[in-house]
Chains A and B, each alone.
Chain A
Amino acid sequence: MKDNYLVVKPDGTLINQIILKKHKPWTSNDLILFLMALLSVVFLAIFAYAPLYGLVLAFKKGDGYLNISVAIANAPFNGLDNFKEFISDPDFKNIMFNTIGLNLLQLLINFPAPIIFAILLSELIGDRFKKIVQTVTFFPHFISWVIFGGIFITLLDFDTGFVNGFLVAIGIVPKPIDILGGEEYFWGLIIITSILKGLGWGSVIYIAAISGIPNDLYEAAKMDGANRWHKIRYITIPSIMPTVTLFFILSIAGILNNGIEHLWVFQNANNIMRSEVLDTFIYKYGIPKWRYSYATAIGLLKSVVSLLLLIAGNTIVKKLTGNGIY
């Protein structure tokens, strides 16, 4: 190991002295720390890097093997055949349309919703009421998608559900609507349920950001005659912008990840045309049908596109606002 030092000699000249450092022997504490950190490497080697190696399956003909470690060792390479098969699959267009469409919709509606909610909440009069609202809207986050989905399946049921009964009773619709079975309602269903479940929770981070804005700013603005809208527009929004950008980039990166636990509860044979996305497709082909190579290839395609989107999103946001995540 080399270190450079500038040394001033007694006569006033400056020299650049190179000192060779000795390797210090490790103390027992260094070793303990090293072993502690090594735990992460052990875990990640098995559960993060080994699966990366498993990606070679995407380029092999490993479908239908009983044991998938045998598949990875013995299956012959077949180049890009798995990818080609997926692209020529009759469902390909549909799945891509659902995956991207559903996610764009979520990005457009579910991303800004918590921000608006947080701003509205900060404008609310009455601290006690504010707290109650926060607690109540928080709650759905803590129950699972199974329970939440189960509740909504009950509410929206064709014959017995509350929603249909209510809509028919007040005369908005003449006949009950099959919301759960109709493919045209599926996206709306997903958007609305994820807003209801995630709005309170998603807004917490923005509420924290808003409560960190110094109060003098608002008081100074008031002196200058700013109304409520001006305060929101020129103080609140610019102050929370860094948080917003960070989460925006992260949600762009996750654009191909539909919450599978969410979709799975609502998916059924009648709405499959609009509810089949990459994640559910990979699961169905990979696990129950043993098409390991095929599903791996689709998964790889998905990760690559996600990564590209992350990079692109970060670059664009960095150009526009000057801050990104790396």
Chain B
Amino acid sequence: MKLLKEPYRSIIKKISLTVSLILLLIVLFLGYASNIEIDEGTLEMYHTLDTLFILAIILFVLFAVIAIIEMVAEQKELKEYHKKFPKSKLNKKIYPFDVFNFTFMLLFMILCIFPILYVLGGSFSQGRDYSRGGIFLLPRVFTFENYTVVLKDIRLWKGYLVTIGRTLIGTVTALIYTSIVAYAMSRSNLKFKKIFYWINIVTMFFGGGLIPYFLVIKTVGLYDSFLVYIIPGLYSVYNMIIISGFFKGISNELHEAAIVDGANEFRIYWQIFVPLAKPVLATVALWVAIGHWNSYFDTMIYTHSPNLQTLQYFLLRAIQTSTLTEGMPAEMMDRLSPKTLSLAAIIISMIPVLFFFPFIRKNFQSGIMIGSLKG
């Protein structure tokens, strides 16, 4: 039984398998949660919990069925394939080293995943109960209140807005600016190429340092403006070298043909070279975007108005100085603790990265290869 044609099938299988695994975890967790003590702040949400539980079960069954159908089909095909072309029996011996290696990798993976699961568990814990200590993964008193409180915090949404804005605008503008220079630097007919090259390279080894840079930011009027997130990041010599390395690899005949047809250099760059350089541009875009999304020190140094606080800076304040419980009524303060609140904030701010990670991982790996070959 085949549900879909070949190119989509393996993707569908992978996605449904992953989603059903995640849903299984959610079902187990919700099932566990409905059997433990519920915090009074969440009592009115009790029915929501049940509804969510049922919804998760239905979705889980749906995705699991798709995944199983596709896997059975794949297995059948594999069997037929192996009937035609018998497997060459390479008897690989397993040495103690392999066992050690496998165990080590497994442990390291657990070390990478466990902290995130722990934070997830903690974010559903009642603050008062969590502060007693001794929670190893699952909450003892279940609550949604950490999330409702954090989601009501206007600073979180402002932070999200600033961060998304700077990531989108910053990445697009940086990519355009850097690739324009990269194109010019990749052409052998650029006049004064050597001089341009050295002007760029020198800055990779000498820098003014924090304070003189801060001085420049203040003098050009970028201090405490949204543009301070965008303009200083427009250009990077390192990314320029990577992109121009890729441009150099594009065949020169295309360029010559376009010149004969009367296109000028900018049009050649924009209409021929940019579309051809999509893989490297995507990689650099991801580097830049991740940098924008994760940085918080520029908020600390170059801004002071609360409207320019990024998501990461909001989180830092929440973790270090427990700003989340400011001005909260006493009966809520009794139940909540700044710790579990900041855990909920951590999870909320991690969701976009978790969502995009599967899509960007592959691109990143191939992109690094490009970088390592050319750089």
Which residues of chain A have a CB within 8 Å of any CB of chain B? 26, 28-30, 32-34, 36-37, 39-41, 43-44, 46-55, 57, 67-69, 72, 120-121, 123-125, 129, 132-140, 142-147, 149-155, 157, 159-160, 162, 165-166, 196, 199-200, 204-205, 208-209, 228, 243, 260-261, 264-265, 279, 282-283, 286-287, 292, 295-296, 299-300, 302-303, 307, 310
Contact = CB atoms under 8 A, between A and B. Distances in A.
Contact of A153 (B187, B213, B319): B319
A260 to B, nearest CB: 6
A51 B215 contact: yes
Contacts of B119: 151, 154
Nearest to A148: B115
Contacts of B218: 67-69
Contacts of A133: 105, 108-109
Interface stretch (B5-13, B32-40, B148-156, B261-269): B261-269
Residue among B133, B360, B369 having the largest count of chain A Cβ atoms under 10 Å: B133
Contact of B357 (A142, A153, A228): A142
A275 to B, nearest CB: 14
A196 B177 CA distance: 34
B112 A136 contact: yes
A40 B215 contact: no
B190 A33 contact: yes
A201 B109 CA distance: 14
B140 interface: no
Contact of B215 (A29, A72, A243): A72
Contact of A39 (B180, B213, B319): B180
A296 B211 contact: yes
A36 B266 contact: yes
Given A33-B187, A209-B372, A138 B101 contact: no
Contact of A54 (B215, B220, B357): B215
A147 B203 CA distance: 31
Contact of B102 (A29, A52, A125, A205): A125
A270 to B, nearest CB: 13
Main secondary structure of the interface of A (DSSP, over half): helix
A51 B212 contact: yes
B85 interface: no
Contact of B208 (A32, A37, A54, A260): A54
11 contacts: A36-B265, A44-B199, A48-B203, A51-B215, A52-B206, A54-B211, A54-B215, A125-B98, A137-B109, A265-B316, A300-B209
The residue among A39, A152, A310 with the most chain B CB atoms within 10 A of its own CB is A39
A208 B368 contact: yes
Contacts of B191: 26, 30, 33-34
Interface stretch (B42-50, B66-74, B346-354): B346-354
A134 B368 CA distance: 14
Interface in B90-149: 92, 94-95, 97-98, 101-102, 104-105, 108-109, 111-113, 115-116, 118-119, 122, 130-137
Contacts of B133: 159-160, 165
Contact of B109 (A136, A151, A153, A165): A136
Contact of B203 (A44, A54, A205): A44
B88 interface: no
Nearest to A43: B235
Given A37-B193, A68-B215, 11 more contacts: A26-B191, A40-B185, A44-B199, A46-B216, A48-B203, A50-B208, A124-B98, A147-B312, A155-B115, A165-B135, A228-B97
A55 B212 contact: yes
Interface of B is mostly: helix
B51 interface: no
B214 A47 contact: no
A154 B181 CA distance: 45
A154 B343 contact: yes
Interface in B282-301: 290, 293-297, 300-301
B184 interface: yes
Contacts of B200: 40, 44
Contacts of B109: 132-133, 136-137
Nearest to B92: A125
A34 B102 CA distance: 55
The 3 tightest CB contacts between A and B, nearest first, are A51-B208, A54-B212, A299-B209
B271 interface: no
B370 to A, nearest CB: 10
Nearest to B317: A146
A146 B315 contact: yes
A202 B306 CA distance: 35
Given A55-B212, A124-B101, A286-B211, A36 B181 contact: yes
Nearest to A206: B372
Contacts of B210: 279, 282-283, 286-287, 295, 299
A48 B97 contact: no
Contacts of A283: 210, 301
Q: Which of B208, B210, B211, B215 has the most CB of A within 10 A?
A: B211
A165 B134 contact: yes
A51 B209 contact: yes
B189 interface: yes
A46 B131 contact: no
A136 B113 contact: yes
A157 B339 contact: yes
Contacts of B313: 146
B132 to A, nearest CB: 8
A313 to B, nearest CB: 13
B240 interface: yes
Contact of A160 (B130, B205, B216, B357): B130
Given A30-B189, A48-B203, A125-B98, A208 B372 contact: yes
